Amino acid sequence: MVLALNGSHLYGNLRPLALEEPRALGGGRMIAGSWPPRSLAKLGPSPPPSALPTASPLPANDSQCGEQILSYGSAEKVLIGAVLCLITLLTIAGNCLVVISVCFVKKLRQPSNYLIVSLALADLSVALAVMPFVSVTDLIGGEWIFGRLFCNVFIAMDVMCCTASILTLCVISIDREIMLHERTARCIISRV
């Protein structure tokens, strides 16, 4: 891939490896993480700028959380907002019902159902800590408006809650497999 600089726009996908224009840096100084000028010269002559794909400039978003700005009409925003709110509310209600039912029905208080409660709590945390902020960000066009600090907290919560949900599903599948082997062993022993 060949890099070309045209003013302030960089053509190509190797943005961190490119050099600023030497005139702007006062000679041949390099930016940290960039290739030396000799290495760039080895890539070959750069074709005219029209032959290279251009990357659209990033929107003026200070937090860098929303990389692509989406634009919806007012009717689309209402429809998308209603669907996202409905999904969030159903997720909250459904997971609360699971937790409440296992807590209050004595027949459901079994160790294997505790894993189901753990999964419901992990999914409930996603519904409360992640889904509303994703919905708002999507509805306003993809721009993160909650600040840089909360962006980092949000990303950490998203990764942590989703990972907890996925790992709980893995533990449930292992538990079900163990229960299946125990039932099979009991069945075989009872036939002998």
Domain-by-domain residue ranges, the chain? Answer: 74-190
6-10, 53-57, 105-109: which has the highest mean pLDDT? 105-109
Distance CA(37)–CA(124), nearest Å, equals 53
Q: Are 47 and 31 in contact (CB under 8 A)?
A: no
pTM as predicted: 0.60
Query: What are the structure tokens assigned to 2, written together?
Result: 């060949």
Averaging pLDDT over each range in 34-48, 50-64, 110-124, 178-192, which range is the top one?
110-124
Report whether 130 contacts 161 (CB < 8 A): yes
Judged against a pLDDT cut of 90, whether residue 105 lies above it is answered with yes
pLDDT at residue 139 in the model: 87
Task: Give the model's confidence band at 10: pLDDT under 50 very low, under 70 low, under 90 confident, else very high.
Answer: very low
Mean pLDDT for all residues in the chain: 75
CB 45 within 8 A of CB 88: no
Please state the rounded mean pLDDT for residues 66-76.
68
The phi, psi pair for 127, rounded to 5°, reads: -65, -30
Rounded-to-integer distance, Cα 112 and Cα 110, Å: 6
State the SS3 of 91-128.
HHHHHHHHHHHHHHCHHHCCHHHHHHHHHHHHHHHHHH
Model pLDDT, residue 35: 45
Q: Secondary structure of the chain: what % helix, strand, coil (to 5)? A: 65, 5, 35
| pLDDT at residue 52 greater than cutoff 70 | no
Confidence of residue 33 (pLDDT cuts 50, 70, 90): very low
Has residue 2 got a pLDDT over 80? no
| pLDDT at residue 126 is higher than 90 | yes
Average pLDDT over residues 34-52: 49
Q: With the C-alpha atoms ordered 171, 173, 177, 182, is the resulting torsion angle positive or negative? A: positive
Assess whether pLDDT exceeds 50 at residue 128: yes
- Residue 160 confidence (pLDDT): 96
pLDDT confidence bin for 39, thresholds 50/70/90: very low
Q: What is the mean pLDDT of residues 134-143?
A: 88
CA dihedral sign of residues 83, 84, 87, 93:
negative
